[in-house]
Amino acid sequence: MTENKLNLAVFISGRGSNLQSLIDACQSADFPARISFVLSNRSDAYGLERARKAGIPTSVVLHRDYPTRETFEDAMMAELAKHPVDLICLAGFMRILTPHFINRWPDKIINIHPSLLPDYKGLHTHERALADGKKEAGCTIHYVVPEMDSGPIIMQKRVPILPGDTPETLAARVLEQEHIAYPEVIRKLANKR
C-alpha cells in the first residue's frame, strides 16, 4: 500500500514535536501518508534526531550559507527533487518562504500556527493572547501563500484560556491540540485526492 500513500516532506527548525506526531501517525498501517524526508535549516534541530530514529532521510540546508532567500530556496528545491513529495508540511520551520518557492508548489505547502488565525500572526502568539485577556486560544493549519500566516484555513482546534495561565501553560495546552490536528489534516487531504 506504500504506493498509494501521500508523500510528505516535513520542514523543521527545532524541537520537532509536530514532526513526531506525524511520525507516530505514519506508524499505523492504515494512515494514508508517509514521510519521504525531513528538511531542517538548522543542524542542531532536535527534530533531526527524531527523524533519524524513525529511519527517515534528513537534509540540512543552512540558510546562512546562501546570499539570498531565493538561492536558499533553490537549495531546498534541489533536496525536494531527490524524493517523492506530494505535500510539504511546515512544522516549526522558522524561515519565511518567498513566492519564488511558494509558486512552484501551488496548494502543496501547509503550515501549523499556534493561534486561531487570523488572530496573532507571527511570533509570541500566547503572550499576546494572554495580554489581550482572551478567553480562548488554539492552533490553525492552513495553506501557505506569500503573505505570512494568511492562506486558506484547513483546520483549527480551540482550547480555553484558564485563570493563572502563563505563556508556557497555554503553549502546552495548544501544543497537545497541534499534535492531534496535524495527522487529522493529513488524513483529510490524503483521502480527498
The residues of the shown chain that bind ligand GRF, judged by CB under 6 A, are: 12, 14-18, 91-92, 112-114, 139, 175, 178
Output 80 or 112, the one with its CB closest to ligand GRF.
Answer: 112
124 is catalytic: no
Instruction: Write out the three cell numbers for 99.
Output: 513566492
Task: Read off φ and ψ for residue 155, nearest 5 degrees.
Answer: -155, 145
Q: In the complex, what is the shortest distance from the CB of residue 89 to ligand GRF, in angstroms, rounded to a whole number?
A: 10
Q: How many CB atoms lie within 10 A of CB 178?
A: 22
Counts for the chain of helices (H) and strands (E), in that order: 6, 7
Name the 3-class secondary structure at 9.
strand
Annotated catalytic residue within 63, 83, 113, 126: 113
Distance CA 56, CA 48 (A): 9
Q: In the complex, what is the shortest distance from the CB of residue 14 to ligand GRF, in angstroms, rounded to a whole number?
A: 5
Instruction: Write out the three cell numbers for 49.
Output: 534526531
Q: In the complex, what is the shortest distance from the CB of residue 90 to ligand GRF, in angstroms, rounded to a whole number?
A: 7
* Size of the chain in residues: 193
Q: Report whether 45 contacts 71 (CB < 8 A).
A: no
Output 12 or 110, the one with its CB closest to ligand GRF.
Answer: 12
Output 6 or 112, the one with its CB closest to ligand GRF.
Answer: 112
Q: In the complex, what is the shortest distance from the CB of residue 84 to ligand GRF, in angstroms, rounded to a whole number?
A: 23
Output 20 or 36, the one with its CB closest to ligand GRF.
Answer: 20
**Active-site positions?**
113
